Structure 1
Amino acid sequence: MNISAKIKKALYIDGTWKEASVYTALTSPFSGEAIAQIPSANDKEVDEAIEAATRARKVMAKMPAHKRAAILERLAHLLEQRMEEAANIIALEAAKPITTALDEVNRTIQTYKFAAEEAKRILGETLPLDAAPGGENRVAYTVREPIGVIGAITPFNFPMNLVAHKVGPAIASGNTIVLKPASQTPLSSYFLAELLQEAGLPAGALNVITGSGRVVGDKLVKDERVAAITFTGSPAVGIGIRNRAGLKRVTLELGSNAALIIDKDIELNKIIDRCVKGAFAFQGQVCISLQRIYIHESLYESFVQQFVEATRNIQVGDPLDSKTDVSALISNEDVQRTLHWIQEAKQHGAEVAIGGTAEGNILMPTVLLNAESSLKVSCQEVFAPIVVINKVQSVEEAIEEVNDSKFGLQAGIYTNNVHTALDAAEKLHVGGVMINDIPSFRVDNMPYGGVKESGVGREGIKFAVEEMTELKLVVFNRN
């Protein structure tokens, strides 16, 4: 795929590339230059994609597990062969620094490999019905069956790996997919369609439809042929999906303002670089980006000094430059929003220790001190290279601050006390607690998801397969 040629893409429906009636320009978040023409599907074209996925249901449901696994293994192999091309697509359309984009491609390969493995171990169980009176001499077992057509709606920030977390388990479990990628990052999904076509996925099993959420997203959510929706994005949109989805199975991965607690007696030099990376990787546009730090007052001054010094060494610039750590935010609107939030924080007494300004669409890595918990930079999802550092008198106080949030995706704590660690694991109201690590840790086979407005359901291939299958009970009466 030659991105520099300002290509014109087509919709991918039923195993073929179809010209759309309407196109929009895709521009680089970093340079503002047009990089591709992207189809904007209408209601009829979305209907065709859902119909194709519906027809392919029987083919995928009857496909043996080893064949589904083989397709995913071939996909992972093809992605390994074209890794640099894939990373360049991500860097160009999302302004993700190229080294970070390569990391994403590597993770995507691992995700599809995990999916290939899980295809072979979708298990049921036998049940002892004679545990209940009247159940004597009966044999019972359960199986998991594919749920049908999956509507997948994905975000811009991990345009390959978060797609993989929906497409991988859907294929592994014998489902079909209609994929709506984020408007800013569709090229990664069209690239995936090319690879899956080459890997031998049956026609109609994957359909890629770009366009507005009001047209494509609403159709997927409301159409009765779609059995499940898996969505990653904002809480407002996710809540709207759940309200309109009726009896559809819905998995929602939503927002966060992930927090880290640092207990007393921690050796700061061992954690500074890790914390800086957690706060600023991919411009903070990560659901579990480190946004809030609560540190014991005895370490506060030293930590702030070291953190700010490390932040000064961050390289900002062109995402295609291998030396770049931080590049442009996804849109100028996000730059203006975050500058406004920083200004609001300053007006309410917060101190800007470093950053707080923008150059073009690049927001400089920003550290805020003494920001009240009610400020947007603290209580909302900032999705930008901004971190708030506050001092606390105890871990107990920090836990209360972490939990005083409408979000609850992941949290981290650094402590040398095992009792403190276990208390934090019990009391933190989040989907995942990282002990002696930042909340931004994720590998692709672990259960991933949150509580409160951070969503419902879990991703991580095994757990997504459970969301995408129905449990069926079979009972033999031998009386």
Structure 2
Amino acid sequence: MNTKNLFINGKLKAAKRTYTLRSPYNDEVLADISMADEADVKEAIEGAQSAYQTMKEMPSYQRSDILTNVALILKERKEEAARLIALEAGKPIRTARGEIDRTVATYQFAAEEAKRIYGETIPMDAAPGGENRIGFTWREPLGVVVAISPFNFPFNLVAHKLGPAFAAGNTVVLKPAEQTPLSAYFIAEVFQQAGLPDGALQVITGSGKELSDVLITDPRVQKVTFTGSAAVGKIIKEKAGLRKVTLELGSNSGLIVEPDIPIDKIIPRCVEGAFAFAGQVCISLQRIYVHEAIYDEFSKRFIEQAKTLKTGDPLDETTDISAMISSREIERIESWVNEAVQQGAKVGLGGSRNESIFEPTVLLDVKEDMSVSCQETFAPVVSIVPYKELDDAIDMVNNSVYGLNVAIYTQNIMNAMHAARKFHSGGVIINDIPTFRLDHMPYGGVKESGYGREGIKYAVEEMTELKFVTIKTTF
């Protein structure tokens, strides 16, 4: 059987233990994956620390060249990379190709930002005692960055950590999700081929529970960047101490649909936002609030459109929705849907599983305190709820422990800006779904959706330290 070893200091290293990686769709064995232990993690951190000086002193154009090479190589190997995503994550192949396209763009953005890490001059004489002084700033890399990534975008969310880290001159110890290690090893190979110095990227696979303490608390680690659940994010924050931390956590993204919107123009997009990659997206459309004047028509058309989605093998070119990541997750969402029905919700579509696939599910008559509404479903389940007044809908969207992306469809610019002001979230999307994201825009949340921002320019700022210098020009 194919065994994937740890990637430490530019070489493959066998671990004492392995685990079997299986396809979430058909349980096919994909590989044996090395399980790192504490000694492996410390070796990786030590190697990253040793490589840091090389990365820090590397001219920005050389860091840019490496990132450009990564984008070019990944573009050439697009089909191979997309197939890996389909196999280990169960993402439909067409969707997986889209992820690789975005990943290429993300590394291209990182290559550009490597050359745009600016400082500024400070008018020292703005304060008494500042006469005859020049003040200015520059940004310096932090050092060793620990990146902990999720399963749902195993290439692009890793790129949002590696890209800005290397653009700024840091080194990275990457801990991918247990279900998607193949993508991490693939990108490590690509970076090595692109010219990244050995030790600048370390890949450690295995149990997050076993490895998190040493990864997060080692004194040589200067920053932790994590994408995942709010529960794990809180633990990381507690353990990280004074280290810099970026937390991209959960959401139950809400959308408001005002009555002035032509329904036929937005239904396909809303269905896409709710069910793409089986809803396993941080900003998946989970709650739709529709004005009562168009609620019945919207719900009817939404369900009709959702019925056209095809479920099946992720490698089938016609598949829209495939397996959820694990049977445990299917059992969880199945119990939440059943609980909602017992509490009075109605199933407009779906509501059940088909082996490794949970059917696209539309719930009606959902109350705000039901798990399918107030928690993150991370599944192909969406609720449609009527409202009377716009402010009522805004209040319902805001009535959440999360605050990542929210959205509103309206042709009234005053209503749009009113909602944008009132929403308590990291991002507001007007006239599109909350699932919309481009890889250079600032992205991040408030409340239990975390803090810090991704989007390469903004992530570079998070992965650097501002240094101030002043010169007295006369004695």
Q: What's the TM-score once normalised by structure 1's chain length?
A: 0.99
Q: Distance in 2 between the 1:394 and 1:418 partners?
A: 16
Following the alignment from structure 1 to structure 2, what is the Cα–Cα distance between the partners of residues 262 and 395? 9
C-alpha separation in 1, matches of 2:226 and 2:346: 36
Letter in 2 for 1:445: H
Letter in structure 1 aligned against 2:375: Q
Report how far residue 216 of structure 1 moved: 2.1
The match for 1:92 is 87
Report whether the alignment pairs 1:151 with 2:146: yes
Matches within 5 A, 1:31-430: 31-430=26-425
Aligned to 2:450: 455
Give distance in 1, aligned partners of 2:358 and 2:427.
Answer: 29
Aligned-pair distance for 1:20?
Answer: 1.0
Q: Distance in 2 between matches of 1:152 and 1:307?
A: 38
Which residue identity does 1:197 align to in structure 2? Q
Q: Which residue of 2 aligns with 1:28?
A: 23
- Secondary structure at the counterpart of residue 174 of structure 2: strand
Instruction: Give the drift of 1:395.
Output: 1.2
Q: Is the 8 A contact 1:263 1:394 kept in 2?
A: no
What letter is aligned with 2:151?
F
Q: How far is 1:215 from its partner?
A: 2.5
Task: Please give the secondary structure, in 2, of the residue aligned with 1:218.
Answer: helix
Query: Any gaps of 5 or more consecutive residues in structure 2?
Result: none
Supply the AA of the counterpart residue of 1:237.
V
Q: Distance in 2 between matches of 1:257 and 1:134?
A: 52
Q: Aligned to 2:338, what secondary structure does the other structure show?
A: helix
Indicate the SS of the match to 2:440: coil
SS of the residue aligned with 1:271? helix
CA distance in 1, matches of 2:269, 2:244: 37
- Structure 1 position 58, deviation (Å): 0.3
* Aligned equivalents of 1:15, 1:40: Cα separation in 2: 18
AA partner of residue 21 (structure 1): K
Letter in 2 for 1:343: N
The one-character-per-residue Cα deviations of 1:4-31 (angstroms, maximum 9, x if unpaired) are xx52111000111111111100000000
| Structure 2 counterpart of 1:18 | 13
Aligned residue for 2:30, secondary structure, equals strand
TM-score normalised by the chain length of structure 2: 0.99
Per-residue deviation, 1:265: 1.8
Mapped partners of 1:207, 1:425: distance in 2: 41
CA–CA distance in structure 2, aligned partners of residues 350 and 263 of structure 1 = 23
Distance 2:209 2:255 in 1: 37
Counterpart selection for 1:431 from 426, 433, 455: 426
The answer (yes or no) to whether the contact 1:209–1:216 under 8 Å persists in 2 is no
Q: 1:469 maps to what in 2?
A: 464
Shift of 1:242: 0.3
Counterpart position of 1:3: none
Contact 1:354 1:367 in 2 (8 A): yes
Structure 1 unaligned blocks of 5 or more: 1-5
How far apart in 1 are the matches of 2:296 and 2:13? 59
Q: CA deviation at 1:264?
A: 1.1
Q: Which amino acid aligns with 1:96?
A: K
Distance 2:270 2:248 in 1: 23
Q: State the Cα distance separating 1:406 from its structure 2 match.
A: 0.2
Q: CA offset at residue 394 of structure 1? A: 1.5
Q: Match for 2:407: what amino acid?
A: G
> What's the CA shift for 1:400?
0.2
* Secondary structure at 2:467 match in 1: strand
Percent identity over the alignment? Answer: 57
Looking at structure 1, the residues matched to 347 and 250 of structure 2 have their Cα atoms a distance apart, in angstroms, of: 24
How far the C-alpha of 1:214 sits from its partner, in A, is 2.3
| 1:407-429 superposed Cα distances (whole Å, 9 cap, x missing partner) | 00010100111100000010000
Residues in 1 aligned to 2:231 and 2:5: alpha-carbon distance in whole angstroms: 30
Structure 1 residue identity aligned to 2:168: S
SS of equivalent to 2:261: coil
Equivalent-residue separation in structure 2 for 1:212 and 1:224 (angstroms): 21
Rounded to whole Å, the distance in 1 between the matches of 2:94 and 2:403 is 29
Cα distance in 2 between the residues matched to 1:264 and 1:309 = 20
Q: Report the alpha carbon displacement of residue 218 of structure 1 after superposing the two structures with TM.
A: 1.7
* Cα offset, 1:361, TM superposition: 1.2
Paired residue secondary structure (1:178): strand
C-alpha displacement of 1:266? 1.0
CA distance in 2, matches of 1:295, 1:214: 41
Whether the 8 Å CA contact 1:153–1:217 is kept in 2: the answer is: no
* Structure 2 SS opposite 1:371: coil
Q: Measure, in 2, the Cα distance between the counterparts of 1:202 and 1:444.
A: 26
Question: How far has the Cα of 1:220 moved from its partner?
Answer: 1.2
Letter in 2 for 1:468: M
Paired AA for residue 347 in structure 1: Q
**Paired positions, count:** 474
